[in-house]
Structure 1
């Protein structure tokens, strides 16, 4: 199994899991993407095991970026059990992210 296939299958397994997953599609050259790093760390600290956060390089994983209609970076996508609950491009602050995630998870 190639490294890409392995990453792809663990990505799929993760977004199909019971624990919600926030995926951050980013690019190394993108300044707003760099601003998301401390925000996502803060969010993980606040939410702990309630959520998994993964970063996906949109250029190295173009197939995933295309599949999920990522047109700009950063793009954040919230998955639960394989379903997209929310998607937004641009920088979102930790408190706002936490509120959105909590709202989306109450519905499901």
Structure 2
């Protein structure tokens, strides 16, 4: 989990996508997040975390619904939402935290 601490401390917003491969809604977010990553470029980071491979982190963050999306910047959680999100909303959120 120390690597997670390094990731959330970034000066740019970091969008974490907690997912599983067996959850349809989780899988449907992959192309959306690819588009978001392309749109925000170096102004933000997008990181996918498979809850099946990271049970301790998922439990520590109380991940219940999938997908769960969380934005951190400089160690502080800025936004959290479970369920499918649209790309434009995510881009707008990330841009809000880039300044």
Q: Do both proteins adopt the same fold according to a TM-score greater than 0.5, normalized to the shorter chain?
A: yes
CA distance in 2, matches of 1:69, 1:83: 16
CA distance in 2, matches of 1:101, 1:70: 21
Greater percentage in helix:
1
CA distance in 2, matches of 1:29, 1:40: 18
Q: Whose relative contact order is higher, 1 or 2, with alpha carbons under 8 Å and at least 6 apart?
A: 2
Matched, 1:32 2:25: yes
Deviations 1:8-66 (A, max 9, x none): 33222111111211000001101011111110010011100011111111122111111
**Counterpart for residue 9 of structure 2:** 16
Counterpart pick for 1:68 among 61, 74, 80? 61
Deviates more, 1:66-75 or 1:79-88: 66-75
**Counterpart for residue 3 of structure 1:** none
Give SS of 2:77's match.
strand
**Counterpart for residue 74 of structure 2:** 81
Runs of at least 5 residues in structure 1 that lack an aligned partner in the other structure: 1-7
Counterpart pick for 1:97 among 76, 90, 98? 90
Higher Rg = 1
Aligned residues: 99
CA distance in 2, matches of 1:65, 1:54: 14
How far 1:101 sits from its partner (Å)?
2.3
